[in-house]
Amino acid sequence: MNGAQDLGGQHGMGPVAPEKDEPIFHADWEKRALGLTLSCGAFGAWTIDESRHARESLAPATYLSASYYEIWTRALETLLQRHGFVSSDEISQGRMLEKGRKPKRILTADRVAAVLATGGPCDRPAPAEPAFAVGERVRTKNFHPQTHTRLPRYARAKIGVIEAVQGSFVFPDDNAHGKGENPQWVYTVVFDAPEIWGEGADPSLTVSIDAWESYLERP
């Protein structure tokens, strides 16, 4: 999806300026936003890829003017409504008006540490051997779906070299839309800067991305 989240190479956004000694949270409400997102994710109603797509589907003006955790909470509202846990009226009024869908599971306080420590591994066995090998030249495909994808816009239709075969993982482009995990091999692909940024790019620099197998073809 070519949304506001895909900003690589865009002008006018200002420099990246890391905050010195940045705190984990800038306000108490951010702690609650994180807690709500994790506990609702534990319902088992949606995948991490669907939640990412919900965030990137926010209107560009909303996405670019919102803080990090505000983006999370706005996307969470979308997910909760989509899956029948709350209504739009309940969100606008800030209270329960009717009984919604019952979650598959509830993340209780005593299980939080163990659940966070376990994480959400997404490595899965692939149905076939890797189609590409380390050192092989490949070209990324040129596509612009309205659905979720992890191939950055700036890296489409570019020629690079396979640096590593990382393993096989859930294919997010399908998993975000309820089409199954459909695992694929993931490769680290290295591009020369001029291939990505064109004339005037520093030829001594390279750009690396992790690309699912279906993003790639032989030049």
Architecture of domain 28-118: Orthogonal Bundle (1.10)
Q: Which residue shows structure tokens 């990137």?
A: 56
- In sequence order, which residues have a C-beta less than 8 Å from that of residue 133 and are 6 or more positions away? 162, 165
Show the DSSP H helices in 57-163 as ranges: 60-65, 68-82, 88-93, 112-118
54/217 Cα distance (integer angstroms)? 29
9/12 Cα distance (integer angstroms)? 10
Q: Could you state, in order of their start, the residue ranges of all structural domains in the chain?
A: 28-118, 137-217
pLDDT score, position 28: 96
Q: Which residue shows structure tokens 């709500």?
A: 36
61/64 Cα distance (integer angstroms)? 5
What is the pTM (predicted TM-score) of this model? 0.92
At the topology level, CATH places domain 137-217 in SH3 type barrels. (2.30.30)
Q: Running along the chain, 219 residues long, what does each successive block of 10 average in pLDDT? A: 90 88 95 95 96 96 95 97 96 93 93 91 96 98 96 97 98 98 98 96 97 98
pLDDT score, position 207: 97
